[in-house]
Amino acid sequence: MVRIILFLITNLSVMILFGSILSLLGLWSSTTFWLVRMAGIFGFGGAIISLFLSKFVALSVVNGVIINKASNDMENWLLKIIHKQASKLDIGAPQLAIYDSMDMNAFATGARRNSALIAVSTGLLKNMKQESIEAVIAHEMNHIASGDMITMTLIQGVVNTFVIFISRSLAKLIAYWTSFMQDQDNEQLDTNHHHEDVNSSLTYVIISALLEILFGMFASVIVFWFSRHREFYADAGSAKLVGCKNMIAALQELKCSYESQTSNSIATLYINSVKKNSLISDLFASHPSIDKRIEALQHGTYLNKSSYFF
């Protein structure tokens, strides 16, 4: 609840700041007030809605099946591991889901720490050692305990608001200036007419669309940086639960696994992401390379740090 309040304050501050700038420039109007509301609703509201739908969407994407009652020894063992680790981390035991995939992977999702979901692939269960599977589960459990899904959503909401509000505010300024200059050339300046027509002009529509794409790319870099940062902490949290040796072994097995070809809407949730090779692609990678993650564990870089964002 504390992080939600803090991010709401941040979100409101972004809108108030730029609304004030427009007001000082003499461009505050009813349309600007509408823009402030729209940025908040679609930017932050959309992210919150996606968080509450995250379990349903994730299961739909991978065709996962929730295991409420074990039907074999593997499922029974997985449920026991999840309950055991949840008890150690003092959180409610998440639901278990299994989905059919050659890819050795797993992910966690959910709107609340005590009502989350962990999904594992059949490829992981068939090809990984039990100690490594336990380490992967511990990694996902630490994401849940640290509230990473919630924090990621709130950060996404803030940057969405920023992108919508800034791009459209700048587009409004540029369109207004363009219209102003055209009227000066025609010697038919009508200030009141500007405020009404700027938002419907073709110039405004084109510029706002281009700026949303540009600022959206920069915003993605911020979100993906946070995602990569939290992977190190989840690895360290797993190492504390099941041993550093087991977590490193799990990462080494993931490194040698079938390369994921999934570039779907939940790719950022997986423990093992599609491999990246270039500097530019690394900026938009949701996960650091497995080599960097292994190195961080070997040097104990994150082992003595708090796993909580705040």
Positions marked catalytic: 140
Burial of 9 (0-12, 13-18, 19+ CB in 10 A): exposed
Separation CA 263–CA 261 (nearest Å): 6
Residue type, position 199, single letter:
N
Separation CA 220–CA 156 (nearest Å): 8
3-state secondary structure 94-150: CEEEEECCCCCCEEEEEEECCEEEEEEEHHHHHHCCHHHHHHHHHHHHHHHHCCHHH
Separation CA 243–CA 237 (nearest Å): 9
229 close to 152: Cβ distance less than 8 angstroms: no
Separation CA 112–CA 218 (nearest Å): 28
Separation CA 247–CA 241 (nearest Å): 9
